[in-house]
Amino acid sequence: MMQDIKKWAFGSLWLFILTIPFLGIINALYFLVSLIVLAILWFIYKPFEQNILDVQSKLLQLPMPSIRWSLYFVIAILVLILPFISDQYITNVATSAITYIVLALGLNIVVGFAGLLDLGYVAFYAVGAYSYALLSTKAGLSFWAVLPLSAIMAAIFGIILGFPTLRLRGDYLAIVTLGFGEMIRITLNNWDSVTGGPNGILNIKGPATLGLSFSQPHHYYYLIIIIGIFTIFAVNRLNNSRIGRAWVAIREDEIAAEAMGINIVKMKLLAFALGASFAGIAGGFFASKMKFVSPESFTFFESVIILCMVVLGGMGSIPGVILGAVVLIILPESLRGFQNYRMIIFGAAMVLIMLFRPQGFIGGVRRRLELHPEDEKILKQETESLYDVKQK
Amino acid sequence: MGGGGALLKIDNIHTSYGVIEALKGVSLKVKEGEIACLLGANGAGKSTTLLTICGVNKPTKGQITFFSRTINGLPPHEIVEEGISLVPEGRRVFPMLTVYENLRMGAFVRRDKMGIEEDLESIYKNFPILKERKNQMAGTLSGGEQQMLAIARALISRPRLLLLDEPSLGLAPIMVEKIFKIIKDINKSGATILLVEQNAALALEIADYGYVMETGKIAMEDKAEKLLKNKKIKEIYLGG
Ligand SMILES: Nc1ncnc2c1ncn2[C@@H]1O[C@H](COP(=O)(O)OP(=O)(O)OP(=O)(O)O)[C@@H](O)[C@H]1O
Ligand SMILES: [Mg+2]
């Protein structure tokens, strides 16, 4: 309790001081007041946290098929009819949100499952988008032929970039992947003859099928829904497979994993390649929808946002990552009215979430254990089990 | 028996960590069906020897043969498939995986689903505590339970040679006794064992043959019962 009060006090004060130069003292004070209101809400919520967590973990862990499936069903219906109950703007935001779900789920393979911190993930998004742009404008191939090729190109880059980083861990890996991300962007920016340099590539063809050529926002919306569903199924299958277990083992203890007979090199490269291939698909879709690609869309900031979706949502948890992506797209959009302040509010929200829910929105039970090893419940279990042994 | 019975033969291996040479020409043999133990002070290079056998560390020089096949230079996962399994120092179970998932990781190189299920059953029979806790996160087990899990996890790959690195480390005396009984049983059921231990008295009691390491080299070797009576060993490792 005391600790939480301290955290809030420091957090709010820090954000207050940080925002004075941008907002002016008066607005910053408003900001501080709203933080204090948030704090009060938090302390009201806190006593119920354990109950909420219990309910949540029951919902997630235990098979409660009826409730879970009806929830999914309602969401599915809402998602399907969205273009009919809203306007083009919302449809576009939703399309972008689902694109980011695909990206975040892909990065989740690398960061969440295999535990490899990748700060250059946007590079694979760029490779997918440019592959699509080039193959579609120069080679004149159709969307359905190019999309898988974009995925394959991105996967190849995943392996090429992954290979030299195999021996690196943690911070070093993060720095090197960050460098790779920038290298790709700078190459795209300077290789004028192929990529068009800063001007990018124009007049990219969109998809067409059965005589329908995609032009309306809702065409793309339904297309990305199909891609999104495919991604969710694929990532879920991977998570529950032999490969998924091997990734978790590598994340937890590389040497022990090696001693179990897991081929570390192969599994890490597989994580990079599969993670990248989803970014490639998302990139291909992005290029086909925008009809235009340029290096500006693939900055380091994009990598950071996608990583935030994974971390805020709850590393390794598929529903968590989906929620993270939705929140991080919708939050800044819904703050558009606040103009310049929206990035500050956005940043503040992220800092607060990390302070108070380090495991993310829906951190699996696993994350919770990892980040709060001092949790009483576990300690109790531990002493109990120790006691058992002594009894025998 | 003679040399023909050697399941594992290590010949003059050198292993380095950067510029530090941890192994300076280690040679030893483990005969089929026996328990060999490797004793030595902290930092002598015992763990490094085991890690070199299973391919996690690569020797810069020397040869390791297993069933007359040269295995040094093979990646660890191929060595596990050859039938060598390691229980690492400090147990190193996967803390965020359940007991059951840990055991499944141990069977990673096996493809016979039926066989794995059968072996799981027999493991649960031999380690009832693991059955009781099979859905519990391994990180929440007590030290002794984790050690049992680490051993069980290594056994489920059906190794022909089991490498154990200080299984008694940090355990209460009752637990140590229990673990050593388990080791003896595993050996009786057919697995050959190379045991690294600080607890020299106990190790020599269950072992057939013993090696003593000092700063990266084998300093002494003999039948276990003879080492137990050896004056120098008594002084240094058995407390006088
Ligand atoms: N990862 C490493 N990096 C650098 N040096 C290491 C590493 N692991 C071990 N060493 C060094 O190699 C030497 C042998 O270490 P090793 O762990 O094999 O000893 P040990 O006999 O198992 O000791 P202990 O009984 O303490 O476990 C020591 O000098 C140690 O400092
Ligand atoms: Mg050691």
Task: Among B21, B39, B46, name the best residue to mutate to test ligand 1's pocket (greatest count of ligand atoms within 8 A of Cβ).
Answer: B46
Q: Taking Cα atoms as reference points, which of A216, A183, A225 lies closest to residue A96?
A: A225
CB A283 within 8 A of CB A128: yes
A87 vs A22, more confident? A87
CA B5 to chain centre: 19
Is the pTM higher than 0.95? The answer reads no
pLDDT bracket for residue A358 (50, 70, 90): low
Of A165 and B149, the one with more pLDDT: B149
Question: With bands split at pLDDT 50, 70 and 90, how would you rate the model's confidence at A39?
Answer: confident
- Mutation for testing the B interface, residue in A253, A365, A389 having most B CBs under 10 Å: A389
Distance CA A116, CA A168 (A): 9
What mean pLDDT is predicted for residues A362-381?
45
Interface of B with A in 199-228 (CB under 8 A): none
> Tens digit of pLDDT for each residue in A41-86?
878 877 777 777 677 666 666 555 677 778 888 888 988 888 888 8
Residues A188 and A46: their CA atoms lie apart, in Å, by 49
Q: Where are the beta strands (DSSP E) in chain B?
A: 6-17, 20-31, 35-40, 61-66, 69-70, 84-87, 161-165, 192-196, 209-214, 217-223
Q: Is B22 in the pocket of ligand 1 (CB under 6 A)?
A: yes
Cα A4 from Cα A10, distance rounded (Å): 10
Query: Which of A261, A369, A388 is nearest residue B108 as measured by Cβ atoms?
Result: A261
Break chain B into its structural domains and give their ranges.
6-237
- List the one residue out of A182, A132, A172, A179 whose CA is nearest residue A152: A132
Is A364 among the domain residues?
no
Q: How far, in Å, CA of A152 to CA of A276, rounded?
A: 9
Specify the pLDDT at position B97. 87
Q: Which two tokens stand for residue B12?
A: 């003059």
Measured from the CB, is residue B17 less than 6 Å from ligand 1? yes
pLDDT at A365 over 50: no
**Regions in chain B scoring below 50 on pLDDT:** 1-3
Mean local confidence (pLDDT), A121-142: 91
Cβ pair B50, B63 in contact under 8 A: no
Beta-carbon count within 10 A of A55 CB: 11
| pLDDT tops 90 at residue A357 | no
The residue of B17, B74, B77 whose CB has the most chain A CBs within 10 angstroms, and thus the best one to mutate to test that interface, is: B77
Instruction: Indicate the average pLDDT of chain A.
Output: 82
What is d(CA B104, CA A162) in angstroms, rounded to the nearest whole number? Answer: 27
Contact with chain A for residue B140, Cβ under 8 A: yes
Q: Chain B: give the shortest CA distance to residue A261, in Å.
A: 4
Q: B209 vs chain A: nearest CA distance in angstroms?
A: 25
CB contact under 8 A, A259 and B85: yes
The pLDDT assigned to A369 comes to 42
> Is the minimum CB–CB distance between B172 and chain A shorter than 8 Å?
yes
Which B residues 24-43 touch A at CB under 8 Å? none
A127: containing domain: 75-338
Atom 22 of ligand 1, residue of closest alpha carbon? B47
B45 CB within 6 A, ligand 1: yes
First to last CA, chain B: 34
| B25 Cβ contact partners less than 8 Å away, ≥ 6 residues apart | B12, B13, B14, B61, B62, B216, B217
Place of tokens 């998302």: A282
Ligand minimally distant from the alpha carbon of residue B212:
1
The answer to whether the Cβ–Cβ distance between B56 and A252 falls below 8 Å is no
CA separation for the pair B91, B54 (Å, rounded): 16
pLDDT score at A375: 42
Distance CA B50, CA B211 (A): 13
Contact between A310 and A275 under an 8 Å Cβ cutoff? The reply is: no
Token reading at B189: 């059921």
Span from the CA of B165 to the centroid of ligand 2 (angstroms): 7
Largest CA distance in chain B: 52
Q: What is the ipTM of this complex?
A: 0.85
Of the partner residues B56, B140, B174, the one whose CB lies closest to the CB of residue A259: B56
Contact A385 B141 (CB under 8 A): yes
CB contact under 8 A, B108 and A369: no
Beta carbons of A282 and A95 less than 8 angstroms apart: no
Which chain A residue shows the shortest CA-CA distance from B156?
Answer: A260
Among candidate residues A281, A275, A279, the one with its CA nearest the CA of residue A149: A281
CA-angle at B194, arms to B192 and B195, nearest 5°: 130
Instruction: Using alpha carbons, select from B54, B48, B17 the residue that is nearest to residue B218.
Output: B48
Q: From 3.50.50.60, 3.40.50.300, 3.90.1150.10, 3.30.300.30, which CATH number describes the B6-237 domain?
A: 3.40.50.300
Task: Dihedral sign for Cα A263, A266, A272, A275, please.
Answer: negative
CATH assignment at residue A334: 1.10.3470
Task: Name, of A128-137, A376-385, B2-11, the range with top average pLDDT.
Answer: A128-137
Q: Give the pair of three-digit tokens for residue A56.
A: 């949540």
Nearest chain B residue to A253 by CA distance is B94
**pLDDT confidence of residue A28:** 80
CA-to-CA distance for A203 and A319, rounded, in angstroms?
A: 36
In the 8-state DSSP scheme, what is residue A201?
A: B
Find, among A220, A342, A289, A259, the residue nearest to B55 by Cα: A259
**A124: three-class secondary structure by DSSP:** helix
Residue A91 main-chain phi, psi, to 5 deg: -60, -40
Residue A233: band (very low, low, confident or very high) from pLDDT cuts 50, 70, 90: very high
pLDDT exceeds 70 at position A5: yes
- Give residue A382's pLDDT band: very low, low, confident or very high (50, 70, 90): very low
Q: How many CB atoms lie within 10 A of CB B161?
A: 23
Which of B20, B56, B218 best tests ligand 1's pocket when mutated (most atoms within 8 Å of CB)? B20
Question: What is the Cα gyration radius of chain A?
Answer: 23
- pLDDT for residue A238 is more than 70: yes
Residue A239 has pLDDT above 60, yes or no: yes
Q: Where residue A370 falls among pLDDT bands split at 50, 70, 90? A: very low
The atom number, within ligand 1, closest to the CA of B18 reads: 4
CA of B87 to the centre of ligand 2 (A): 12
DSSP-based three-state secondary structure for A113: helix
- Per-residue pLDDT, averaged over A23-52, amounts to 79
- Residue B96 has its nearest CB partner, among A242, A366, A388, at A366
Report whether pLDDT(A190) > 50.
Answer: yes
Q: How many CB pairs under 8 A join A and B?
A: 98
Give me the number of domains chain A comprises: 1
Query: Which residue in the set B75, B142, B153 is minimally distant from A385, CB to CB?
Result: B142
Q: Helices marked H in A196-241 — which ranges?
A: 217-239
Distance of CA B71 to the CA centre of its chain: 17
Which strands form B217-223's sheet, in the order they lie side by side? B84-87, B161-165, B192-196, B35-40, B209-214, B217-223
Question: How distant is the Cα of B217 from the closest Cα of chain A, in angstroms?
Answer: 24
Q: What angle do CA B239, B143, B93 make, to 5 degrees?
A: 120
Note whether A379 contacts B: Cβ–Cβ < 8 A.
no
Give the mean model confidence (pLDDT) for residues A213-232. 89
Which pLDDT does position A59 carry in this prediction?
63
Q: Tell whether B80 lies on the interface with A, counting CB pairs under 8 A.
A: yes
pLDDT, average across residues A194-214: 80
- Does residue A330 form part of some domain? yes
Tell me whether residues B108 and A262 touch, CB distance under 8 A.
yes
Percent of chain A's residues with pLDDT above 90:
30
The residues near A248 (Cβ < 8 Å, ≥ 6 apart) are A113, B94, B96, B97
Contacts of A265 in chain B (CB under 8 A): 75
